[in-house]
Amino acid sequence: MVKVLLLEDIISLGWLGDIVDVKDGYARNYLVPCGLATIPSKENIEAIAEEKAKRANERKLEYEKLCKVAEEVEDASVVIEAKANEQGHLFGSVTPEMIAEKLRENGYEIADEMVAVGHIKEVGEHKVTLKISVDLDASVEVKVVSEGSIPLEEEKPEQPEQEEDELSEAKSETSEE
């Protein structure tokens, strides 16, 4: 094992400016040649101390924003229409991307990668976990319904009713004569 000073944020290792232990080959063959890490020295540590403090502040602000998003989206629900057979099996699946898109349509700032669920292949209600950050989760209710089972108010025809009234009035007038 060798100690390296991280020059970039690496999710599996740490943040910029952290000194971490990694295997020799990982440091020698990947981290150092790619410019992601260097051998720690007093000069290197001092050189990136300001950038480390700046990024720590940015992470704090980002975390506060993500906490707000998690609080807003917690216990939200979305309805997704999909083609299904009579037994309730979907002719495809509801993907995490579809769920994230529906949440965005409802005004939530959710990235596709935050939806931590496999493909949903059944009609019904499903509890889905959103992985907002490493230690921050939220859950939403996803209701998958068969296409055409939700009556849309926009599709209710009002003009045909008026036409039927006019036709019935015309018939009554002709029958009276």
Looking at the structure, do residues 76 and 49 belong to the same domain, yes or no?
no
Measured CA distances, 68 to 5, 6, 28, 85, 137 (Å): 32, 29, 41, 39, 12
Looking at the structure, do residues 145 and 88 belong to the same domain, yes or no?
yes
Total count of domains within the chain = 2
Tokens 């965005």: give the residue.
Answer: 104
pTM of the complete model: 0.60
Residue 105 lies in a domain: yes
Looking at the structure, do residues 83 and 149 belong to the same domain, yes or no?
yes
3-state secondary structure of 124: strand
Angle at 118 between CA 115 and CA 122, to 5 degrees: 115
Per-residue pLDDT of the chain (177 residues; tens, 9 = 90+): 999 999 988 888 888 888 999 999 999 999 999 999 999 998 888 888 888 888 889 989 988 988 888 888 888 889 999 998 888 898 888 999 999 999 999 888 888 888 888 888 999 999 998 888 878 888 999 999 988 765 444 444 444 455 555 555 555 555 554
Q: Count of residues for the chain?
A: 177
- CATH at 18: 3.40.5.10
Residue 175 lies in a domain: no
Domain boundaries, position 22: 2-53
Give the number of C-alpha atoms closer than 13 A to the C-alpha of residue 7, restricted to the C-beta side: 15
Residue 115 lies in a domain: yes
